[in-house]
Structure 1
Amino acid sequence: MSAELGQETGAVEANPLCRLSLDQLRRRTSMKWRTYPEDVLPLWVAEMDVPLAEPVARAITDAVALGDTGYPAGTAYAEALAEFARKRWSWEGPTAERTAIVPDVMLGVVEMLRLVTGPGDAVVVNCPVYPPFYQFVRHMDRRIVEAPLGPDHRIDLAALRDAFARAAGSGRRAAFLLCSPHNPTGTVHTREELTAVAALADRHGVRVVADEIHAPVVAPGAAFVPYLSVPDAASGLSLMSASKAWNLAGLKAALAVAGPAAAGDLANLPEEVSHGPSHVGVLAHTAALRDGGAWLDALLAGLDDNRRLLADLLAEQLPDIRYEPAPGTCLAWLDCRALGLGDDPAAVFLERGRVALSSGTAFGTGGRGHARLNLATSPELITEAVRRMAAAVA
């Protein structure tokens, strides 16, 4: 059911983060649970320790029962995103006419960058940032230009202005790969910040491609602002998906959304790109956006509880770790430099504490001495992880 329907009927979902035991989770065969030995608590890659939302599970099982496992078709996914955006963000932007289905968000990013840049052109990123930004961009023969976030983990407009000038120098095409909300810091960009970004990009002729995969994962009381909803963003392109909010990474499907002035670019997307998404994935993502609102609300409340729990546990047991709870994503960015564990504290926590975190070094400039922790698990596992981490440095 939608969030609105859930509120009308008084239905209350149980916290999805508290429904699976460690034994149940260890039966999973995905990356999070099979990369490390069983004595390691995995709090690294952005998979969530939750059961599927009931509407999503029903869509999948209904498709399997019908043998409906062919190729994707139609605009139901785009229509579900449009309705979700209208209800959640008061945004009328993602019309079916200006969307295209892509295999997943990062492959969609690659295709959007191919539309607006060429080999050797520059792509600006706000570091520290999601490591595949570096990997995918370099693999497609584009140059990375870093515009570091400020000490408060917010976009530094002066740094961005300098990066845009360098990226678009000599009249070359350039793009800005915006992460919104920001991974790994959890920063949720404000309307004022995004408006300033759009104006700056327009002034320098830089095309903005926004990775908004974490858009639904924003704490109660905070507001996600779609990049394409701000002034001067008409030439932007966005990638959206239900993947992170409903734990659907294994069911590939995402949507590229074009601003009004970028519709022509999106029309040039090769037809074969639409062959990559999973039909069952499209059905699952559509069901999540259309009917998974109550489940999402319960998840967001649980994540917010976990943010507070982690902050309290670190203050008690590891006060030298600097952690500022942020309202976006299911991730926590830990500044461990005061512990004196070197550039890669995650390696120490893994070896000595048997806790797997994501190494900060992979996130580019600003990542050394940091680690990323996935909050999308039970309070019990977070509590045990911090206990092990504290013991590792005792």
Structure 2
Amino acid sequence: MTIAADPLERLRTRTSEKWRAYPDDVLPLFVAEMDYPLAEPIAVALIDAVKRSDTGYVGPDRHVQSAFAAYASSTWGWEVDPQRVTTTTDVSVVIVESLRLVIRPGDRVIITPPVYPPFFGMVPEAGGVVEEVPLRFDDGAGWSLDLAGIERAFASGARAFLLCNPHNPVGLVHTAAELAAVAELAARYDAVVVSDEVHAPLTHSDAAFTPFLSVSDAAREHGIAAHAASKAWNLAGLKCALFVAAGDRMSDLLSGLPYEVEVRTSLFGRIASEAAYTAGGPWLDDVLEAVEANRALLTTLLAQYLPEVRYREPRASYLAWLDFRELGWGDDPSAVALDQARVALLPGPDFGSPGAGFARLNFACSPSVLTEAILRLAAVAP
């Protein structure tokens, strides 16, 4: 492993949300920002842009589309046509603008809680109404999509499904068979699947990510994917994301996007994303090695110091979905964690009603910070 998280004293000089939301006595393990230094190829690309005063508007340049297509091919065996890829500011905009194209005001859109909290707001922002079909959980098999529930929602009139693939916060990497079943349902009911795949490059070594648009003709006919380098390479503040289509029907829909949706892309975001997809692979490999080591460390720490907290190791990203219900810390255990342990977690109820009694922890940090966080939590446990 050749990458280490920056020390706390350096991290606290950052001005992003993770390091400005709370006082310095709080360990911030809430928002999805990593503590690792920026990948060198990305830093060089951005510094070079500054040196040449390349800080203007985005122009007609499709290098990032081609870079993403090459990355998708080499990483997932997914052949993407760069001409079917369009940029914008972030994945949230990809989701909202895609939904606006495929639903009418008042149409229902399926989401699968516990799920990324902004999903609950993106659907109404696009004019839709949230239809919740919670994930299924089995002690043996773990988390899975409720395909029967999704079919019932489509049959009763839901017009779209906002899929989280891989799933935040539980780290579920959906199987190709499940995704093909979703695509078949969408085709049967003439609905559309918008697949948020921002965590895809962070799939762990013991799992395999399947792009939704790769599973079948039905998926290509009825799906739009949202991609970005922002999560895997820690570029959220640079504002560049991708609409991806794989069939004529969705490509034609995306061609109707307002001009401003694309030109609001950040030039720095586009430069950084191209560098990430073309030269950021070795850095990401090191990050994933560090993340997987912390995933295992968290299992060990909880077993030793907080055995009441249940945790199922994720297979993607650096987020842990922790079940505090046996501790009796109420519906929002993150409030106890912050007030008494000075550890900031993301509240479980923000992820929907199945999140009561849970909290999400970001373990893309140093092993020492992760250890200190668990020791602080254990010190206030009953």
Structure 2 length normalisation: TM-score? 0.96
Pairing partner for 2:47 from 61, 73, 79: 61
Deviation of 1:250 after TM superposition, in Å, equals 0.6
Q: For the Cα contact (< 8 Å) 2:165–2:199, is it kept in 1? A: yes
Q: In the alignment, is residue 319 of structure 1 matched against residue 319 of structure 2?
A: no
Which residue in the other structure is 1:154 paired with?
A: 144
Q: For the Cα contact (< 8 Å) 2:332–2:348, is it kept in 1? A: yes
Q: Which segment is superposed worse, 272-281 or 131-140?
A: 131-140
Which residue in the other structure is 2:58 paired with?
A: 72
Paired with 1:164 and 1:114, the residues of 2 have a C-alpha distance of 18
Which residue in the other structure is 1:310 paired with?
A: 298
Q: Which segment is superposed worse, 381-390 or 259-268?
A: 259-268
Deviation of 1:161 after TM superposition, in Å, equals 1.3
Paired with 1:136 and 1:116, the residues of 2 have a C-alpha distance of 14
Deviation of 1:142 after TM superposition, in Å, equals 1.2
Q: In the alignment, is residue 98 of structure 1 matched against residue 84 of structure 2?
A: yes
Paired with 2:295 and 2:286, the residues of 1 have a C-alpha distance of 14
- CA-to-partner distance for each residue in 1:309-368, whole Å, 9 max, x for gaps? 001100111101110101111110001111111100010010000000000001013110
Q: In the alignment, is residue 240 of structure 1 matched against residue 230 of structure 2?
A: no
User: Share of identical aligned residues, percent?
Assistant: 50
Equivalence map 1:1-394=2 (5 Å)? 14-15=2-3, 18-73=4-59, 74-92=61-79, 94-151=80-137, 152-168=142-158, 174-231=159-216, 232-234=218-220, 235-260=222-247, 261-394=249-382
Aligned CA RMSD, in angstroms, stands at 1.0
Q: Which segment is superposed worse, 356-365 or 133-142?
A: 133-142
Give the letter aligned to residue 242 of structure 2: L
Shift in alpha-carbon separation, 1:34–1:119, aligned structure 2, 3 A: same
Q: For residue 43 of structure 2, give the secondary structure of its aligned residue in structure 1.
A: helix
Paired with 2:72 and 2:85, the residues of 1 have a C-alpha distance of 13
Deviation of 1:141 after TM superposition, in Å, equals 2.9
- CA-to-partner distance for each residue in 1:260-284, whole Å, 9 max, x for gaps? 1311111111111112111011000
Q: For residue 37 of structure 1, give the secondary structure of its aligned residue in structure 2.
A: coil
Give the letter aligned to residue 170 of structure 2: T
- CA-to-partner distance for each residue in 1:38-75, whole Å, 9 max, x for gaps? 10000000011011100000000000000011122311
Deviation of 1:140 after TM superposition, in Å, equals 3.2
Paired with 2:42 and 2:146, the residues of 1 have a C-alpha distance of 39
Deviation of 1:150 after TM superposition, in Å, equals 0.5
Give the letter aligned to residue 305 of structure 1: A
- Runs of 4 or more consecutive aligned structure 1 residues displaced over 6 Å after TM superposition: none
Paired with 2:315 and 2:229, the residues of 1 have a C-alpha distance of 18
Q: For the Cα contact (< 8 Å) 2:100–2:127, is it kept in 1? A: no
Paired with 1:393 and 1:138, the residues of 2 have a C-alpha distance of 39
Deviation of 1:225 after TM superposition, in Å, equals 0.4
Paired with 1:221 and 1:285, the residues of 2 have a C-alpha distance of 26
Shift in alpha-carbon separation, 1:167–1:337, aligned structure 2, 3 A: farther
Give the letter aligned to residue 117 of structure 1: I
Give the gaps of 5 or more residues in structure 2. Answer: none
Q: For the Cα contact (< 8 Å) 1:148–1:156, is it kept in 2? A: yes
Q: For residue 106 of structure 2, give the secondary structure of its aligned residue in structure 1.
A: coil
Deviation of 1:204 after TM superposition, in Å, equals 1.5
Structure 1 length normalisation: TM-score? 0.93
